[in-house]
Amino acid sequence: MQNGYEVFKNQLFQVLGIDLNSYKEQQMRRRINQWLTRHSMASYTDLIARIRTDLDHRAAFTKYLTINTSQFFRDQGVFESIARQVLPSITSGGNMPRIWSAGCSIGAEIYSIAMLLIKQGARARELLGTDIDEVILARAREGTYSDSEVGGVPPDLLRAHFVKSGNLYQISDTLRRMVKFARHDLLQDPYPKPFDLVLCRNVFIYFTADTQKRLIHSFVDSLKPGGFFVVGSAEHIMDPHAFGLERVSYCIYAKTV
Ligand SMILES: C[S@@+](CC[C@H](N)C(=O)[O-])C[C@H]1O[C@@H](n2cnc3c(N)ncnc32)[C@H](O)[C@@H]1O
């Protein structure tokens, strides 16, 4: 006999295509219960009924569940290392790199990389941002941001790549044209390849340890030999060699084979 949460997970997968089995259970249950309280719903059954019929509620719940928080140049030190070490390496000899931001949310991470490439006079063959959440991808494509989201953009890059309109900042068409956004579920879809640089930051903290391992193997498989893999500041890889990686800097690994 399945308990309520087991049934809910199956139904949620049918309606949203999100597989909660791979996410840390305690954290997810707590978040979902908070949502039920906030929206005065008595049970998982009420929530499933609501997201089947109310598309706005479905979008809002997806956004809540997937935790879309992001900013430009988040973890400044990591971007300094990317600018100093990673980009010069993958663009040397005129190489035009392929770069993937997985779990890209509002696109801030991949647009930050695009700005650094322009600053260094380099060009990319492909800049890809992917996420499971279609609503957040629409925001990434539109490229309109709040004060706090652009707070980490250095002043010269803010002037060069954004137009301020009221309280919002619109990213330039040049940058929007450089980046492609697509829906991709890290748990179910085949991983695109080959890439010179893959960033997956502040995404797999939500997954179970087994799922994290499976994902890291898939990311390594998506990298060219010598390619770089960047994780979030709470996501250190304890035994990089077990995945064919070596640590090159804080949060940054290189594929050794
Ligand atoms: C906290 S944001 C991180 C954004 C950005 N990488 C950063 O560090 O600022 C996590 C993102 O992971 C996405 N996500 C969650 N589960 C996912 C999955 N199974 N496949 C792809 N993206 C997923 C969420 O929709 C959300 O946009």
CATH of the domain at 151: 3.40.50.150
Amino acid 1: pLDDT: 47
Q: Which atom of ligand 1 is nearest to the CA of 184?
A: 21
Query: 187 in ligand 1 pocket by Cβ < 6 Å?
Result: yes
Residues 25 and 101 in one domain: no
Q: What is the DSSP string of 52-107?
A: HH-HHHHHHHHHHHHT----TT-SHHHHHHIIIIIHHHHTGGG---EEEEES-TTS
Q: What is the pLDDT of residue 2?
A: 58
217 plus 102 within the same structural domain: yes
What is the pTM for the complete model shown?
A: 0.90
Residue to mutate, 22, 132, 181, ligand 1, most ligand atoms under 8 Å from C-beta? 132
Question: Closest by alpha carbon to 199, among 88, 100, 117, 85?
Answer: 100
Q: Is 196 in the pocket of ligand 1 (CB under 6 A)?
A: no
- What is the position in ligand 1's atom list of the atom closest to the CA of 200? 6
Final residue before a domain boundary, out of 66, 87, 111: 66
Considering the domain architecture, whether residues 209 and 245 belong to the same structural domain is answered as yes
| Token code pair at residue 145 | 């941001």
Cα separation, 150 vs 170, in Å, equals 10
Q: How many domains does the chain have?
A: 2
Pocket test of ligand 1: the residue of 24, 28, 63, 66 to mutate, having most ligand atoms within 8 Å of its CB, is 66
What is the extent of the structural domain holding 24?
Answer: 4-66
Cα angle 33-39-45, degrees, rounded to a multiple of 5: 60
* Gap from CA of 60 to ligand 1 centroid (Å): 15
- pLDDT less than 50: residues of the chain: 1
